[in-house]
Amino acid sequence: MYVMRFTVIDPSGTVSFVAPCNGLKALVAACSHQPTPTTSRELLEATVDYDDRLGDKVLNGLARFDEYNSAEQHRNFDAAIHLFSADHREHELPPFRVIDEATRELSLMPVKAGLVLFNLAQKRIIQVQNTYAEVERRDRGRIHRGGKPTQQLYHYELPLEWAILP
């Protein structure tokens, strides 16, 4: 599966996850919603119109992360990082919150097709590394249902206050 890392920064913190590359357009389209999503949860919930699994999968993964980890106690996730890194399977790590320097570094590590940051507070989409498809201010994508593309297309136009950085 062709995947990339997405890291979402909002006023309350940072979350990072790996998802199929088609999630890129779904996340950008979700940024075009009015009112603009201001939290990672709002952004992920807004993707349901474009991909019915993306938001739920990430939010469920974050709930599991929160159940077993905190800023003070995160041995479980540290063990997972070492396990997946030893096998060069960083792209299989579950969604996580940035809670220390190790998770911050991991949230900035491209996987397979790259890394795209979504800074919701500053309304910036930063393509740190993107070999999948250049983010466009106006574009279209294929709706995904049940993990599969449909024949239906969606269109979006990102508001001018959003910056797209290379």
Q: What is the pLDDT of residues 88-131, one digit of tens each?
A: 677 788 999 999 999 999 999 999 999 999 999 999 999 999 99
What pLDDT score was predicted for residue 86? Answer: 62
What pLDDT score was predicted for residue 78? Answer: 73
What is the pTM (predicted TM-score) of this model? 0.93
Report the distance separating Cα 133 and Cα 131, nearest Å. Answer: 6
Pairing of strands 163-165, 124-130: parallel
pLDDT tens digit sequence for 10-62? 999 999 999 999 999 999 999 999 999 999 999 999 999 999 999 999 999 99
Q: Are 5 and 129 in contact (CB under 8 A)?
A: no
Can you spell out the DSSP letters for 53-99?
THHHHHHHHHHHHHHH--SS--HHHHHHHHHHHHTT-GGGPPPEE--
Enumerate the β-bridge partners of residue 125: 118, 164
Hey, where are the domains in the chain?
3-165
